[in-house]
Amino acid sequence: MRRKLAAGNWKMNGLAADLAELDAMKPAAATRQTDVLICTPATLISRAAEAVSGSAIAIGGQDCHVNASGAHTGDISAAMLADSGAGYVITGHSERRVDHGETDAVIAAKSEAGYANDLIAVICIGESLEEREGGQTLDVVGTQLKNSTPDAATGANTVIAYEPVWAIGTGKVPTLEQIAEVHDFIRAKLVERFGEDGNAFRVLYGGSVKPSNAQDIFAVSNVDGALVGGASLKASDFNAIIEALDAA
Ligand SMILES: O=C[C@H](O)COP(=O)(O)O
């Protein structure tokens, strides 16, 4: 039985005053079936980890460098994330693939850097609008999944997040049939590659998840939770999403 995961990605949002939102998420996070994760900007990780100490909320980073240390100005290593109190790291978010030219190979290496520091990697994959309209969705998702996921991935150290790029921050959401098609495909590919352990990976949906659509999305087969951007910034929205997931 896979535990559900409600993951928030604050992206480049959040100052010290916003840590109050984490406090307000604590009661909703104390659920029986759902893990709760907030990936804050790197500047907030250690304060966020302190703020959630003793609660059911985990803190994660949004990216890490492939190397453990060295001359990489402005970058942050997985060891630094772990040292700051993170338990997870997002790798391969489409905003990093696009803005920073990250390839599948780099994303796999970043995920391995996470494993080496006992971080759970949340590996993101998803097609662009052009790829969706060109009928290439499963090809693109399959290739990204294969090449961004290291051989050392397990259901315990890795979460897969399916995020159609065209649904991120746009308010556009795929149909429930489209979500089911991709999630069932991802599950089949994980089982083909990792055997029975392929059934242990959590597969999240991401892209314009809100309290108003969460219940429907969480009823879709092989959707084990969500990676939420905008609606994770305020406890009032994210708590409703956690509750919808816990009830699913
Ligand atoms: O990492 C989160 C996703 O990019 C989704 O963002 P969004 O919920 O604001 O569409």
Tell me how many domains the chain contains: 1
pLDDT at 196: 96
The reply, when asked if residue 67 is annotated as ligand binding, is: no
Predicted TM-score of the model (pTM): 0.96
Task: Write down the ipTM of this complex.
Answer: 0.98
Query: In this structure, what CATH number is given to the domain that contains residue 158?
Result: 3.20.20.70
pLDDT in tens, 83-129: 999 999 999 999 999 999 999 999 999 999 999 999 999 999 999 99
Q: End-to-end distance of the chain based on CA atoms, in angstroms?
A: 14
> In the structure, which protein residues have their CB atom closer than 6 angstroms to any atom of ligand 1?
9, 93, 163, 168-169, 206-209, 227-231
135 Ramachandran zone, left/alpha/beta (phi>0; psi -120 to 50): left
Verify whether residue 131 is a known catalytic residue: no
Handedness of CA 78, 81, 85, 90 (dihedral sign): negative
Q: Which structural domain, as residue segments, surrounds residue 155?
A: 4-247
Pair 66, 110: CB distance under 8 Å: yes
Residues near 100 by beta carbon (within 8 Å), at least 6 away in sequence = none
pLDDT at 173: 92
Residue closest by Cα to atom 8 of ligand 1: 229
The reply, when asked if residue 166 is annotated as ligand binding, is: no
Kindly give the distance from the C-alpha atom of residue 42 to the centroid of ligand 1, in angstroms, as a whole number. 18
Q: Which is catalytic among the residues 21, 112, 127, 163? A: 163
pLDDT at 208: 95
pLDDT in tens, 141-190: 999 999 999 999 999 999 999 999 999 989 889 999 999 999 999 999 99
Residue closest by Cα to atom 2 of ligand 1: 229
The reply, when asked if residue 84 is annotated as ligand binding, is: no
Q: Taking CA 107 as the corner, what is the angle to CA 35 and CA 5, rounded to the nearest 5 degrees?
A: 10
pLDDT at 171: 87
